[in-house]
Amino acid sequence: MKTENAEFSRSLSLLRQEKKVSQRTAADALGISQALLSHYENGVREPGLAFVVKACDYYGVSADFLLGRTLNRDGVVIAAEELYDISDEKNTSIKGGVLALLSKKLLVNSIGVLFGLLGRTGSREAIQAAAGYLSTAVYTMYRRLYDANPDNNPDFFSVSPRHFQAGLAEADMKCCEAELADALAAHVKVKGPMPEMNHDALARDYPVLYQSIFQIIHSTGERVNAISAGRKDQGKK
């Protein structure tokens, strides 16, 4: 029977692999049998508090990290103002040339406009839905990149390769999109019209960032229309 905290078993396994020790070696150090450690790492059984403490000491991490409650190994929760913001950098460069740098700037600037407008609605639900959608899109692209190297450890991700290939990430994005639509509809019903978003208003409110989102709208529109045109051409044959 699988435990409820899948992040714990995954973290426990990854930390051991990162430490480059066998299950037998880790089990001996933790004072349990190899079979029991295997059960913990595979989520078959759930350990007691004493084991969690030992594992934290052995791997040098906090209990919150081991339980998947924070990304910081020391357990510190990062506040919004402490997050590194690459958009604040000056004269930055990305290995890969001008295209990589331009693409990054277009997306960072466009997301700045998006969350600026969402912030003006005051809808927490809309902001969370948009963030979830974009986070999963980034997750998907990063995972494709990660999976391109067969030497990378697939256990790095909690979503199994089978479920990822089946399209669960795309399903999550669709759910976020539906949640955003519901949140925006609720906002309009309670508070009235959305923030003004015509050409003049966006150029006025986001003078530096507006050109980026305009370019995203233009280039994405061309790709989508090309798909539509291709389908129409196929229908004529």
Last residue of a domain, one of 176, 193, 210: 193
Task: Verify that 106 and 209 share a domain, yes or no.
Answer: yes
DSSP assignment of 157-180, as one string?
Answer: SSS-HHHHHTTHHHHHHHHHHHHH
Task: Verify that 23 and 134 share a domain, yes or no.
Answer: no
Distance CA 188, CA 134 (A): 23
Structural domain contains residue 214:
yes
pLDDT in tens, 214-223: 888 888 999 9
Mean pLDDT of 187-216: 87
95 — pLDDT class (breaks 50, 70, 90): low
Task: Verify that 55 and 166 share a domain, yes or no.
Answer: no
Structural domain contains residue 76:
no
* Whole-Å CA distances, 235 to 105, 157, 222, 229, 232: 38, 41, 20, 10, 5
Task: Verify that 109 and 220 share a domain, yes or no.
Answer: yes
Task: Verify that 158 and 96 share a domain, yes or no.
Answer: no
Task: Verify that 175 and 203 share a domain, yes or no.
Answer: no
Task: Verify that 62 and 33 share a domain, yes or no.
Answer: yes
Query: Tell me, what's the pLDDT at 40?
Result: 92
Task: Verify that 131 and 182 share a domain, yes or no.
Answer: yes
Top mean pLDDT of 18-22, 182-186, 189-193, 197-201 is at 182-186
Structural domain contains residue 132:
yes
State phi, psi for 236 to the nearest 5 degrees.
-80, -15
Query: Tell me, what's the pLDDT at 3?
Result: 47
Query: Tell me, what's the pLDDT at 184?
Result: 94
SS3 209: coil
H and E: helices and strands count for the chain:
11, 0
Structural domain contains residue 146:
yes
Q: What percent of the chain has pLDDT over 70?
A: 84
Distance CA 137, CA 130 (A): 11
Structure tokens at 95: 């290995």
DSSP assignment of 41-60, as one string?
Answer: HTTSS---HHHHHHHHHHHT
Distance CA 82, CA 202 (A): 28
**For residue 1, pLDDT beyond 60:** no
pLDDT in tens, 99-144: 787 888 889 999 999 999 999 888 899 999 999 999 999 999 999 9
Structural domain contains residue 188:
yes
Structural domain contains residue 81:
no
46 burial (CB, 10 Å; 0-12 / 13-18 / 19+) is: middle
Q: Which of 48, 47, 42 is nearest to 16 (CA)?
A: 42
CATH number at residue 24: 1.10.260.40
Query: Tell me, what's the pLDDT at 173?
Result: 97
> Domain range spanning residue 103?
89-120+196-237
Q: How many domains does the chain have?
A: 3
Task: Verify that 217 and 232 share a domain, yes or no.
Answer: yes
- pTM score of the predicted model: 0.67
Structural domain contains residue 72:
no
Q: How far is CA 66 from the centre of its chain?
A: 19
Task: Verify that 207 and 145 share a domain, yes or no.
Answer: no
Query: Tell me, what's the pLDDT at 175?
Result: 97
**Which of the two residues, 99 and 178, has the higher pLDDT score?**
178
Task: Verify that 103 and 188 share a domain, yes or no.
Answer: no
**For residue 78, pLDDT beyond 70:** no
Structural domain contains residue 80:
no
Task: Verify that 116 and 200 share a domain, yes or no.
Answer: yes
